[in-house]
Amino acid sequence: MATRLGILLSLLGGAALALLINAFVPSHVPPVVSKQQSMVMVVVANRRLERGSFVREPRDSFLLSEREQDKVPAAALTSLEALKEQVMCRGLRPNEIVTSDHILRVCESDNGLLPAGQQAVGLSIRSKPNLLQQGMVVDIYLREKNAQTCSLVSSKIAISNVEDVTITVAMGSDDIRKIWELRENDGSLHLVKASASVQDVLPLERISSATVAIVDLKRAP
């Protein structure tokens, strides 16, 4: 009899303890809801691209991908068309977000001197900037290091702006790519007033006398 009474008291004590615990524990605890991240569509590389790569058709090398907004750089590109016929001034890894800093620096012309179908690119001038004038049309020749002749790079390039040590020239995409690829060259670029009879190769003495500016290849574009 005493044993049964002890068991009964134990059961009653356990029930009372359970009721006491439930009195202090909320009957419903709302689930923890994580804050949803805002997502944006940005341009990413779908393959490895080297510095100096020319992008003719963006869809061959890039795609749009959804990324968390707080992890996207401020200058990230959101349109594939922004990369059409551009030169990459930095290398890209697969899935890396593309920003405007990856594109060779170009600018818009607001003075009406930029021909249709061309872009404006800045070039650093090493000498003779005082001979340059806005609107001047020039031929660009390359002089290899210590060479006595100069070879034609681009012809009839319009100068759309002149600053202290920088000029802005209007170029097509192929011309921009040529200039970019010459950056590793130890030579220099000579700008001469455009000639009606452009020659592929000219002697140094003739180029020197006609030069209106020399471009610093290591800093251009």
In a structure prediction context, what are the per-residue pLDDT tens digits for the chain, which is 221 residues long?
555 545 544 544 555 555 555 555 555 556 555 567 799 999 999 999 877 677 888 999 999 999 999 999 988 999 999 888 777 777 899 999 999 888 865 444 444 445 556 676 777 777 665 677 777 788 888 888 788 888 888 888 777 667 766 777 777 777 777 777 776 677 788 888 887 778 888 888 888 888 888 876 665 55
175 in Cβ contact with 215 (< 8 Å): no
Query: Six-digit token pair at 217?
Result: 């290849």
One-letter amino acid of 201: V
User: CA gyration radius for the chain?
Assistant: 34
83 and 117 fall within a common domain: no
211 and 161 fall within a common domain: yes
Residue 18 covered by a domain? no
Query: Six-digit token pair at 14?
Result: 């356990």
81: CB partners within 8 A, 6+ apart: 58
207 and 111 fall within a common domain: yes
Residue 7 covered by a domain? no
Residue 148 covered by a domain? yes
Domain count, the chain: 2
Residue 115 covered by a domain? yes
Residue 3 covered by a domain? no
Strands (E), the chain: 39-45, 54-55, 62-68, 86-87, 106-107, 119-127, 137-143, 149-162, 166-171, 188-193, 201-203, 211-215
134 and 89 fall within a common domain: no
Q: What is the pTM of this model?
A: 0.50
97 and 133 fall within a common domain: no
159 in Cβ contact with 195 (< 8 Å): no
